[in-house]
């Protein structure tokens, strides 16, 4: 095997499962992370993220000696970079991608690179990021050659192979999904395929790095646009007094229509972020993609307005009560069903905003998070049945499986997922 040691930089939601997959195929894997706690957790055979099936694979890989974690890169045959690519904190209406984590990773591995290595960027990136990463490596290692100038003859191979796995199904999708291989030369792509074929059973399809970057951004933007269509329909239907869920299920009976589901907004660290990478590179051209982002970002605000109207209607119906005596229950805090991930969660944002304008008690139900692990100011985390019996106003924000079989009949119900 030409890859005896593989190093994965970034032990997060993508890097750790990828490292574990190589290790499960008896390849020596060095996982690198700047966070000492993450490194210690992995070296104890444990994981710091929630992903079904991953804990057992990591535990076996560490105890059999195939996976170890470190804070500083060590020499290896292949390096996979799986670090975050957030956007910069700025006032601009179009957020700019922040490549500083990729830059740090490139600069950290540069000293240990040697002739014959391959460096693969897996992080979702704006178009041109792989070339930029190669630039950082070349700057740090003038003694090595890179594919931009010498193509197949380069000492170091470079490729962009974006991750495309769905949180909650990562272990299966890493193996089964097709993989886009964006090599910077023919040789780079061949070597990348050889590497992924260690565990990937899906097809490996070759393209160049820029197209690979754009392919990943296109997939997530396409989903964002489709969700925006559903969210816009839900707002139109509310105005026209039509049940949007019935409407979508009727339209979806057409053989060529498949509308997605509306919700309280779009969350997570991918769909709500990646379309901006296209918009920031082509602001005048990316009109639909930009509008979809705005439609989805507006949805939590729209839900909050519905909540305010609902409180006013409740107080009108019960004139003896004051707002302080009105209990609101929010069902779900995660960014999507049946996970514990709160990153960029519209449900969490809505709940936090309600607390700010509502003077009465706010309850929240989140079956995937234990009471001790979560502390939102002025929100009382309670069991489903307690919220259902105590609250005056009910707001469904996530369609967790626990909620689906247990509805509430109330005039004061805002169901953003159409399950009750
Ligand atoms: N959502 C809706 N309505 C729907 C579907 C989703 O409102 O019909 C919302 C969810 O509630 C959530 C958000 O969209 O807030 C995103 O959820 P998701 O399940 O669509 O996607 P992610 O962010 O968990 O994972 C996506 C996936 N991309 C695509 O499906 C095109 C995954 O394959 C990518 O690997 C991942 O982004 C990533 O890492 O980029």
Residue ranges per structural domain of the chain: 5-202, 219-415
Average pLDDT, the chain: 96
Half-sphere exposure of 320 (CA within 13 A, CB side): 0
Indicate the top mutation candidate among 13, 166, 171, 297 to test ligand 1's pocket, ranked by most ligand atoms within 8 A of CB.
166
Topology of the domain covering 219-415: Rossmann fold (3.40.50)
**Residue 220 contacts residue 162 (beta carbons within 8 Å):** no
Q: Is the pLDDT of residue 335 over 70?
A: yes
- Chosen CATH of 5-202 out of 3.40.50.720, 3.30.750.24, 3.30.70.1230, 1.10.3210.10: 3.40.50.720
Ligand 1 center from residue 151 Cα (angstroms): 36
The average pLDDT across 22-45 equals 98
Instruction: Read off the tokens for 33.
Output: 């992370």
Which of 254, 335, 270, 253 has its CA nearest to residue 299? 335
Angstrom distance (rounded) from CA 325 to CA 321: 6
**Residue 12 contacts residue 82 (beta carbons within 8 Å):** yes
**Residue 364 contacts residue 376 (beta carbons within 8 Å):** yes
Extract long-range pairs of 89-96: CB within 8 Å, 24+ residues apart.
94/276, 94/279, 94/280, 94/283, 94/290, 95/276, 95/280, 96/280
Give residue for tokens 């769909």: 271
User: Is there a common fold for 5-202 and 219-415?
Assistant: yes
Angstrom distance (rounded) from CA 360 to CA 325: 6
The average pLDDT across 250-272 equals 97
Pairing type for strands 179-183 and 157-160 reads antiparallel
E-strand stretches of 82-146? 118-121
Among protein residues, the one whose CA lies closest to atom 3 of ligand 1: 261
Q: Is the pLDDT of residue 92 over 90?
A: no
Q: Is the pLDDT of residue 212 over 90?
A: yes
Ligand 1 center from residue 94 Cα (angstroms): 21
Pairing type for strands 78-81 and 5-9 reads parallel
DSSP 209-276: HHHHHHHHHHHHHHHHHHHHHHHHHHHHHHHHT--HHHHHHHHTTSTT-------S---SSSTTTHHH
pTM: 0.94
pLDDT tens string 156-205: 999 999 999 998 899 999 999 999 999 999 999 999 999 999 999 999 99
Q: Is the pLDDT of residue 1 over 60?
A: no
* pLDDT of 7: 98
293 pocket-lining for ligand 1 (C-beta < 6 Å): no
The average pLDDT across 393-405 equals 96
């Amino acid at each position: 095997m030409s890859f005896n040691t593989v190093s994965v930089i970034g032990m997060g939601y993508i890097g750790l499962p990828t490292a574990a997959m190589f290790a499960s195929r008896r390849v020596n894997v060095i996982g690198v992370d700047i966070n000492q706690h993450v490194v210690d957790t992995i070296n104890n055979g444990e994981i710091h993220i929630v992903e079904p099936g991953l804990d057992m694979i990591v535990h076996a890989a560490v105890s059999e000696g195939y996976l170890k974690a470190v804070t500083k890169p060590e020499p290896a045959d292949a390096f996979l970079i799986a670090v975050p690519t957030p956007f910069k904190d700025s006032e601009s209406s179009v957020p700019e991608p922040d490549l500083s984590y990729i830059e740090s990773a490139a600069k950290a591995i540069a000293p240990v690179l040697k002739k014959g290595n391959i460096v693969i960027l897996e992080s979702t990136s704006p178009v041109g990021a792989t070339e930029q990463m190669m630039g950082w490596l070349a700057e740090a290692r003038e003694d090595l050659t890179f594919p931009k100038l010498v193509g197949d003859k380069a000492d170091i191979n470079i490729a962009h192979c974006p991750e495309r796995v769905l949180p909650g199904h990562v272990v299966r999708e890493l193996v089964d999904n097709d993989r886009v291989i964006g090599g910077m030369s023919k040789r780079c792509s061949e070597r990348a395929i050889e590497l992924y074929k260690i565990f990937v059973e899906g097809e490996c399809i070759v393209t160049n790095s820029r197209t690979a970057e754009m392919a990943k951004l296109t997939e997530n933007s396409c989903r964002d646009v489709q969700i925006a269509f559903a969210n816009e329909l839900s707002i139109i239907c509310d105005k026209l007094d039509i049940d949007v869920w019935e409407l979508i299920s009727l339209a979806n009976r057409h053989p060529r229509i498949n509308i997605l589901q509306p919700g309280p907004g779009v969350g997570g660290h991918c769909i709500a972020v990646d379309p901006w990478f296209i918009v920031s590179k082509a602001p005048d051209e990316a009109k639909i993609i930009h509008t979809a982002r705005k439609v989805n970002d507006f949805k939590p605000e729209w839900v909050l307005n519905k909540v305010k109207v609902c409180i006013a209607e409740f107080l009108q119906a019960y004139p003896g009560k004051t707002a302080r005596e009105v209990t609101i229950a929010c069902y779900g805090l995660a960014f999507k069903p049946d996970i514990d991930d709160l990153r960029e969660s519209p449900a969490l944002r809505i709940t936090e905003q309600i607390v700010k304008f509502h003077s009465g008690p706010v309850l929240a139900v989140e079956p995937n998070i234990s009471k001790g692990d979560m502390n939102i100011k002025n929100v009382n985390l309670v069991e489903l049945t307690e919220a259902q019996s105590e609250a005056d106003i009910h707001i469904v924000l996530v369609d967790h499986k626990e909620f689906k079989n247990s509805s509430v009949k109330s005039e004061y119900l805002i169901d953003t997922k159409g399950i009750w």
